[in-house]
Amino acid sequence: MIGFSRTKRSAASNAGYADLFGFIGFLFCLLTIVASTMATTAPAEPLAAVLKSVNDFTLDLYLKAAEAKGPGKNILVSPLSASLVTAMVHAGARGKTLEEITKGLRYPTDKDTLEKGFSSLHDLLANTPNVTLEIANKVFVEKTAHAKLVEGYKKTITEVHKSDVESADFLNNHDKERISINNWVSDKTHEKIKDLLQPGVVTPATAMVLVNAIYFYGKWKEQFDKKQTYPEDFYITKSQTVKVPMMHMTKNMRYAEIPELDAKAVELCYTNENVCLQIILPNAKDGLEGLQQKLRAGAFDLSNIPFYPTKVQLSLPKFKLEETINIKDLFKKMGMQSMFEQSADFSGMFDGVPVAVSDAIQKTFMDVNEEGTEAAAATACVSRRKRCIEMPVELFVDHAFLFRLVNVASVIFVGCHCEPTPVSGEDDACDTNEDPLFNDNPQPDDNVRPHKPSHCEL
């Protein structure tokens, strides 16, 4: 949110698995949709420009989050959610504040290209078949300042960014309004994201809270057999292991060797084959840090992984991640400083009401198991008034790894998995009958699951 104030293997295969889990990153991407499949009325150029900006911003956001958390820590961020909510902040920025956000988020500098691109992106995301992808934006404005909301800004956030605008009584009932915003986020994320805004974030000085919520649920095109899930070693360091529930599958998949990163990759697609989870596994058990350094140095572009079809014997751990990240600190490290300072210029947002972003928060959730993936994210910005027959390739993901969830359009989530939850026993590790997401009594629509939100408060 942003707020303004007011899975016995050879030693070689074990090493390969350890390397993948050592560099576990969860990157949920929405890739560039080919022109023939784009359901949009806007020109392809603006959409392509905005998608490129989100993809470029993804790597920087992930690496800044990795630096902040330190080695050996799980990471899960949603660059798409952060970009969507900050786009609404950007729309009201002027001067140096505008320049910093444009550069930090990698946005096109041409206003018309940016707005047409984001409008097309929202249309594209709303039409992703065979999986559930729900995205919602909402802006809560202090009722005494609502009348001073610049008309052009209101038109941009409602028509371009598809956001609802609602008056809120932050001045007299700020905590009640905070709870109301949290309830909206919980509802939009199917209760996967709760308590996005903690007490104290919203105050009587809060002028505006901008929120984005994303929910994703997709079933694998080729599901894992639950009977083939059992405890195996996962390397948390080069020599230390813990037991984790490991899933196994031998199928034709898209696979790649990435010598520039000293890593391998595999792509698992959902029932919509344009949406996939990409696992990037370092060849060394402790290779995640080195892989990240190479990415930081620009050694390889993850959007151009040279996948090719082949039979793969895959071992992949089940995992569930939940994160709360201070986007404000990451944004500052990316050069976006003035939006949080008294010198912030949001004159394109309010007429005569000087504001600055006081908080920018994101909460994310991801659950990967035998049947598919469920993920959610919420970002808020808060602003206050100033003051062929072949032997399969074997891939054993038994150490930290980087992962990307992708669609042919743009990056939604990115992260790494380094701290697995040890299994308490074989029965616990392999019994999936009690999984509330994938049980024998599915919801009426198996693809419908809740989503998580992101928000920004102004």
**How high is the pLDDT of residue 411?**
61
**How high is the pLDDT of residue 409?**
61
Taking the model in full, what pTM does it have? Answer: 0.80
Cα end-to-end distance, the chain, whole Å:
9
**How high is the pLDDT of residue 104?**
95
pLDDT (tens, 9 = 90+) of the chain, 458 residues, equals 554 443 333 333 333 333 333 333 334 333 332 322 333 334 479 999 999 898 889 999 999 999 998 888 899 999 999 999 999 999 999 999 999 999 999 999 999 999 999 999 999 999 899 999 999 999 999 999 988 999 999 999 999 999 999 999 999 999 999 999 999 999 999 999 999 999 999 999 999 999 999 999 999 999 999 999 999 999 998 999 999 999 999 999 999 999 999 999 999 999 999 899 999 999 999 999 999 999 999 999 998 999 999 999 999 999 999 999 999 999 999 999 999 999 999 999 999 889 999 999 999 999 999 999 999 999 999 999 876 445 566 777 878 877 777 776 666 677 777 878 777 654 444 343 433 333 334 444 444 444 444 444 44
Q: Across-strand partners of 30?
A: 410
Domains of the chain and CATH, by start: 45-376+390-417 (3.30.497.10)
**How high is the pLDDT of residue 391?**
58
**How high is the pLDDT of residue 303?**
87
**How high is the pLDDT of residue 433?**
40
The answer to whether the beta carbons of residues 142 and 206 sit under 8 Å apart is yes
Between CA 358 and CA 384 the distance in angstroms is 6
